[in-house]
Each structure stands twice: as C-alpha cells, then as structure tokens.
Amino acid sequence: MPLVLVTGGTGHLGRDLVSRLVQAGHHVRILARRPQPESDVECALGDLATGEGLGEALDGVHTVINAATYSPIARRGSVKPLDFVKSPTAVDVDGTERLLAFSGAAGVQHFLHVSIVGLEDASLPYARVKLAGEQLVRRSGLPWSVIRAMPFHYLLEKMLSNLSWLPVWPVPNAMFNPVDTSDVADYLVRCAFDGGRGTRAEIGGPDDLSLAAIAREFLRARGMHRLVLPMPLSRKAARGMGFVVSDGVRGTRSWIDWLNRSQNADSAMAGT
Ligand SMILES: NC(=O)c1ccc[n+]([C@@H]2O[C@H](COP(=O)([O-])OP(=O)(O)OC[C@H]3O[C@@H](n4cnc5c(N)ncnc54)[C@H](OP(=O)(O)O)[C@@H]3O)[C@@H](O)[C@H]2O)c1
C-alpha cells in the first residue's frame, strides 16, 4: 500500500480522515506537532509553521492530504474585530509552500489540498489566506487536487453555542448547506485514489437551509429558548460572509441528524 501523509491529522476533519484511511487498509502517517497516543498510524513530529520535521515526514510518501490549518476564528468559535483585519499565514500559506517543496523533493504523486467553498467572494482575511494557499498548490509542478468544502457542522455548533448568552439572535437572511467532517473525509478518500486530478467538485451538506432554520434547529436540539430575528442581507453581502449554497457533491449527514447525535453523545457522557 502506498504511504499517505495526512497533515492536520489531529484536527476535526483529520481525525475522521485518518480513521477512514485506516479502515480502508491504507498505510497512514500523520504530521503532528506533539507526540500522539499509540495508534494504527505512524506519527511524524513536525511543524508547518517552521518547517521542522517535514523532510522526515515526507520520506517515502506517495500521497499527501493537506488538512492542516490555523484559523483563530475556528479555534475560539467566535469572531473578533481583529479577524476582519488580518489572519495568520504561517500555516496555510508559508506552511503550504514548505509542504509543496518537500513533497516535490520526495517525489509525491498526488497532493490533495483541503479548502473552502466560495473563497473568491468572501471578504474575511482568513478566506484570502486560504485562497493564497490554494493558488500555491495550483501553481506547483506537482499532480494536485483542490477540494473545497462548506463549513463544518462542528464549527457552526461551536459558534452558535458561543451566542447562548444573547436573548435575541439576529441572523442574516441567507441560505447555507453546512457539511459534516465524516462526509468530507469519505469524499477525500475517494478523490485520493480515483485517478482524478485538478479542481474537484466541491462538497456541501445534503440540505439547503436558511440561517434562521439552522439557528432554530440548534435551539430546539439544545432545549434553549431565544428569539431568532432574520435580518435582510443582499446576495453579494451574504457571499462576502461565506453564506453560499455549494454546487457539486452532497454529503448525507444533515445538520439536524448531527445535532441529535451530538446531543445524545453529550447525554451519554453525562450519564457515565
Ligand atoms: N472548519 C470548517 O468549517 C472548514 C470548512 C471547510 C474547509 N475547512 C478546511 O478543512 C481543513 C481542516 O479543518 P478543521 O476544521 O478540521 O481544522 P482543525 O480542527 O482546526 O484542525 C487543524 C489541524 O491543523 C493542525 N495544525 C495547526 N497548526 C499547525 C502547524 N503549525 N503545523 C502542523 N499542523 C498544524 C492542527 O494541529 P494541532 O492539533 O497541533 O493544533 C490540527 O491537526 C482545513 O484546511 C480547513 O481550512 C474547514
């Protein structure tokens, strides 16, 4: 089995991806900043922001799946004023450039890069950082695939949870189809080994939902009562904020399904 290196293998998408690759019998190595507990996968210690360990991590690698990122918004699950001004580039731009250079030197046969739907129209600095990373991949001399996904359920849940203190939730009147990391992981595994290259069909969740419906379903699942106020928003402004409906592949796990399952998991944890 050719060796697959997953960057970001400790992250939300990366964990799902690694477990699927292992289940499918692939030989997997992750690039991680810290030692990981014993598992079925090899762990190469390294850091995209400094380049440390990348040469060793890529030794003998056939396919790279770059699922690492550093998004302050996703880390904290909320947006601060500074996020409208700048976003760090050390991982998503400089780190991608380093990873591409080491991948070229190691003779990597397929470099898959995970990105986000609608980057051209999105105005947040993080979107510009992701776009710059994508462009490096597209311009590299390597055989590449760029796979864009809609925002993940876990992130939406984290951001809505952080609004809990507000009695009234003004939400933009826009449509959206968030996706689950499990569906994106399945799709990435297919794209890695289907022989295709280049810009792949983007992936989103199964349902087109208004943001008000998304917020109301969250409140219902959590047993919370808040007033959801849909706010008018032009199509251009909505796209600028990343609120789009994706074309292409659709995942199977819905927002409601995901909310119910994560609620059940929380209840089971509380009962243990
Ligand atoms: N979140 C979304 O809604 C969304 C939507 C569409 C596409 N995407 C894309 O999907 C990919 C995965 O996103 P995610 O939400 O699963 O990310 P995540 O949970 O925040 O995980 C990020 C991963 O990147 C690693 N990382 C961060 N800095 C690093 C560094 N200096 N060197 C090496 N690794 C580093 C992290 O390692 P540590 O464990 O050491 O921190 C972690 O494994 C990213 O490309 C993201 O842009 C995300």
The minimum-distance atom of ligand 1 relative to the CA of 152 is 3
For residue 270, the model assigns a pLDDT of 64
For residue 152, the model assigns a pLDDT of 97
Domain that holds residue 27: 3-271
Q: CATH no. for residue 210?
A: 3.40.50.720
Q: Calculate how far, in angstroms, residue 226's C-alpha sits from the geometric centre of ligand 1.
A: 31
Mean pLDDT calculated for residue range 213-221: 97
Report the C-alpha gap between 224 and 53 in whole angstroms: 46
Name the residue of 19, 33, 34, 69 whose CB sits within 8 Å of the most ligand 1 atoms, as the mutation to test its pocket.
Answer: 69
> How do residues 234-264 score in pLDDT, each as one tens digit?
989 999 999 999 999 999 999 999 999 887 7
> How do residues 140-193 score in pLDDT, each as one tens digit?
999 999 999 999 999 999 999 999 999 999 999 999 999 999 999 999 999 999
Where on the phi/psi map is residue 25: left (φ > 0), alpha (ψ -120 to 50), or beta? left
For residue 260, the model assigns a pLDDT of 92
> What residue ranges line ligand 1, CB within 6 angstroms?
7-8, 10-14, 31, 33, 47-49, 67-70, 74, 91, 114, 116, 130, 149, 151-152, 155
Report the C-alpha gap between 88 and 90 in whole angstroms: 6
Q: Is the pLDDT reported for residue 268 higher than 80?
A: no
pTM of the entire predicted model: 0.96
Report the C-alpha gap between 77 and 89 in whole angstroms: 19
Q: Is the pLDDT reported for residue 267 higher than 90?
A: no
User: Bridge partners of 148?
Assistant: 115
For residue 269, the model assigns a pLDDT of 62
Mean pLDDT calculated for residue range 127-141: 97
Mean pLDDT calculated for residue range 110-115: 98
Residues 6+ apart with CB under 8 A from 213: none
Mean pLDDT calculated for residue range 101-113: 98
Mean per-residue pLDDT of the chain: 95
Number of domains in the chain: 1
